[in-house]
Amino acid sequence: MGPGELVVALARAIRAEVRPRLGHDRQVVGTTASGDATFALDHVAEAAAERFIGQSGLTVAVYSEDRGLVGPAGAEYLLVIDPIDGTRPAKAGLECCCVSVALARNVPGATLADVTHAAVYEIKSDRLFVAERGGGVRILEQGVSVEPAPSSRPAAAGAALSVEITGRPILPLAVALEEVIDGASLTGGVFTFASTTFALTRLVTGQLDAHLDMADRLRRDFPALDSRVRQAGRGVPIALFVYDLAAVILIAEEAGLVVTDAYGESLDAVPLTEVSLPWHRSLVAAGNAALHADLMNHLERGWRRVATFDWEADHV
């Protein structure tokens, strides 16, 4: 089984186990190393991944949200798996949840730039996204090939976009994003999915124009807001982690999207097996360079609003 076949087969196997359980297994049963909540449905998905890898006879190292890094150090490949990206929608039976599988050579210090193959499989819908570095992206809807269609919209005004808010402090985010949201919500649309893979693949299909996740820049640039950041995350900062990004970043970039952190910097250097605070990340993704640049301009004004906002006032 080649690397491209492996990521797809593993994603299919996990989806097959999880899909009948959508809308069930809602209880919180633990906390991941990154501080996120673990639900009973996550255990179903992790067990499916472990079972597939064990039965395949393949010697691979695996890094996943719940179990961290397991497997032999000398393995040829490293798999980075988020068996359910979007567990909150999944346990509610909603469609915005995906299996995410990325593969890289198992070399010391492997980063997002080393991911060579990726698969994202929507759990409720039969839609599969597959990418190989340098080989483009394929979309299969019920087995039928569909072409990527990133947005050509050049400006944020009237855009259809998604914003991540899960575990993020909503008031500072609203201040930072006020200009973007007010300019887009009525004539475009503003959505939140609680799944980075689902959100970014909507940009690949052209259903959305952009996606924003601002939490990590908020934490880095405004330490006075640390208590709000930690309160929203049940005591720890919540942001984007590598298992959220590993597969979908390759898919997004191979589809021609522009993807950076909230400073406009590349995500290539993020290690594939690290979720400690220095490696939390933010995200600005857009269907094209002009829209990305316009969003960054709006966001810079948003950060200035956050800097001058009176956070000690009675109304906050």
Mean pLDDT, consecutive 10-residue stretches, the chain (316 aa), reads 92 92 68 62 85 86 86 90 90 93 95 98 95 97 93 98 96 96 97 97 98 96 94 91 95 98 98 94 98 98 95 67
Q: Report the pLDDT value the prediction gives residue 34, as an integer from 0 to 100.
A: 55
Q: Report the pLDDT value the prediction gives residue 71, as an integer from 0 to 100.
A: 86
Place of tokens 């070399």: 107
Q: Report the pLDDT value the prediction gives residue 31, as an integer from 0 to 100.
A: 61
CATH code where residue 98 lies: 3.30.540.10
Q: Report the pLDDT value the prediction gives residue 42, as an integer from 0 to 100.
A: 80
Contact 41, 21 (CB under 8 A): yes
Segments forming the whole domain that contains residue 192? 160-308
Residues 261, 203, single domain; the answer is: yes
Length reported for the chain: 316
Q: How far apart are CA 277 and CA 236, in angstroms?
A: 10
Residues 205, 134, single domain; the answer is: no
Q: How far apart are CA 237 and CA 6, in angstroms?
A: 33
Q: How far apart are CA 209 and CA 202, in angstroms?
A: 8
The domain boundary, picked from 146, 173, 188, lies at 146
Buried-state track 67-84, b at ≥16 Cβ within 10 A, e below 16? eeeebeeeeebbbbbbbb
Q: How far apart are CA 129 and CA 121, in angstroms?
A: 6
Q: How far apart are CA 262 and CA 260, in angstroms?
A: 7
Residues 164, 302, single domain; the answer is: yes
Residues 129, 216, single domain; the answer is: no
Q: Report the pLDDT value the prediction gives residue 316, as an integer from 0 to 100.
A: 52
Residues 20, 141, single domain; the answer is: yes
Is residue 315 included in any domain, yes or no?
no
Is residue 131 included in any domain, yes or no?
yes
Is residue 244 included in any domain, yes or no?
yes
The domain boundary, picked from 124, 146, 168, lies at 146
Residues 192, 248, single domain; the answer is: yes
Is residue 114 included in any domain, yes or no?
yes
Residues 249, 274, single domain; the answer is: yes
User: Which 8-state DSSP code applies to residue 76?
Assistant: S
Residues 52, 141, single domain; the answer is: yes
Is residue 313 included in any domain, yes or no?
no
Residues 181, 64, single domain; the answer is: no
Tell me, what amino acid is at 285? A
Q: Report the pLDDT value the prediction gives residue 45, as an integer from 0 to 100.
A: 85
Is residue 155 included in any domain, yes or no?
no
Instruction: Say how many domains are in the chain.
Output: 2
Q: Report the pLDDT value the prediction gives residue 72, as an integer from 0 to 100.
A: 84
